[in-house]
Amino acid sequence: MARNTDELRIVVGYTADDSGADALALGARIAAATEGRLEVVLVLPIEARGGVVPPDPGYERLVKERGRGWLAEASASIGDDIAQALHIRYAESFAEGLTAAAHEFGAALIVVGAARGGLLGRVRIGSVANELLHSSDVPVALAPAGSRDVRLGQGITRVTAAVGTRPGAQRLIEASVALARASHAPVRLVSLVPIDLPSGLDAELAHLTSTAHAEEVLDSARAALPAGVQASAQVATGDSVEDAVKALDWHAGELVLVGSSRLASGHRLFLGSTAAKMLRELPVPMIVVPRTRG
């Protein structure tokens, strides 16, 4: 999925706090596993964007200098083994700056820290990640809180594509396969089947119908795989999406890819309700892929 097929370029949206450390750690882990290249980007706000506070070149300079220091510390924390470059960009918003940087570098992935006060390591999407999910046309990886404590050597042990229950996930499959190839990890296709029925209906019948439907979707997804790619496939059921997620087994070094909502406009991302529910339960990082080719 990279523009240069030989090297996966990964933009890390860095901030000098826990969330930024999560993003950096996840980005570094993916880069290490795929022998890709990290573009660590610190987005500074354009001071003149507002109509109230007068811009002050002195302060601006100081923030830029501080930003350099932060990036240098970030760089030192991931070591020299990973190809990396550090960048400072100015933009109206964090999301805008990262999207622009991803285009500039031809990056295949933007990594941001997802958590802002999420409980117990689970993900609660912060405003920054949320804005990015609404505007990016490049896949976005959400690093859950605690990603900074995962060893770099953990690598990527499996790539799971959550294909949902509706067909039409071509780009998602492609992205998953590319990532799996680059990181030499196996692919797993997963279809989640929440069974949430009003009482009175025949639960058994409903279960059969939805499961059968999910199998069909998985079959069509498998058919979409490029020749020679082997993938396991699983249907997960539960009373809810959350339960279905819990019912699956997860590797510590796993990555999950989901397609963006069908409601997203154009090539943009937008997290659908199923993906949002998954995110709450997933113990591993999630990558959201725009539905159509950008």
Partner 1 sequence: MTQPQSKNPPADPPLTTATSAVGDERGLSKKGLSAGSVGLIGAIIIGISCIAPAYTLTAALGPTVSEVGVQVPAIILVGFIPMLLVAFGYRELNRRMPDSGTSFTWATRAFGPWIGWMAGWGLVAATILVLSNLAGIAVDFLFLLISQVAGTPELAELAHNPVINVVTCLVFMLAATWVSYRDMQTTQKLQYWLVGFQILVLVLFSVVALAEVANGNAFDATPIDWSWFNPFAVESFSAFAAGLSLSIFIFWGWDVTLTMNEETRGSEKTPGRAATITVGVIVALYLLISVSLISFAGVGEGEFGLGNPDIQDNVFFALAGPVLGPLAVLVSIAVLTSSASSLQSTFVSPARTLLAMGHYGALPEKFARVSPRFFTPGYATIVSSIAASVFYAVMRFLSENVLWDTITALGMMICFYYGITAFACVWFFRKQWFHSVREFFFTLLFPLVGGVILGVLFFTTLIDSMDPDYGSGSSVFGVGLVFVLGMVVLLAGVGVMIWQRVRRPAFFRGETLSRASAD
Which residues lie near partner 1 (CB under 8 A)?
Answer: 15-17, 19-20, 44-66, 68-73, 75-77, 79, 84-92, 97, 100-101, 104
- Minimal distance in Å, beta carbon 154 to partner 1? 16
Partners of 160 in the beta sheet? Answer: 188, 256
Report the chain's terminal Cα–Cα distance, integer Å. Answer: 11
Contact 288/269 with Cβ under 8 angstroms?
yes
Question: CA 184 to CA 137: how far, in whole Å?
Answer: 26
- Minimal distance in Å, beta carbon 136 to partner 1? 16
Quick one: 84 or 136, whose CB is closer to partner 1? 84
Question: CA 5 to CA 292: how far, in whole Å?
Answer: 20
- Minimal distance in Å, beta carbon 85 to partner 1? 6
Quick one: 51 or 198, whose CB is closer to partner 1? 51
Quick one: 103 or 166, whose CB is closer to partner 1? 103
Quick one: 59 or 212, whose CB is closer to partner 1? 59
Quick one: 47 or 174, whose CB is closer to partner 1? 47
Name which of 165, 141, 133, 139 is nearest 241 in CA terms: 165
- Minimal distance in Å, beta carbon 130 to partner 1? 15
Name which of 153, 143, 180 is nearest 12 in CA terms: 143
Partners of 13 in the beta sheet? Answer: 41
- Minimal distance in Å, beta carbon 76 to partner 1? 5
Contact 26/115 with Cβ under 8 angstroms?
no
* Angle (nearest 5°) at CA 247 between 212 and 220: 35
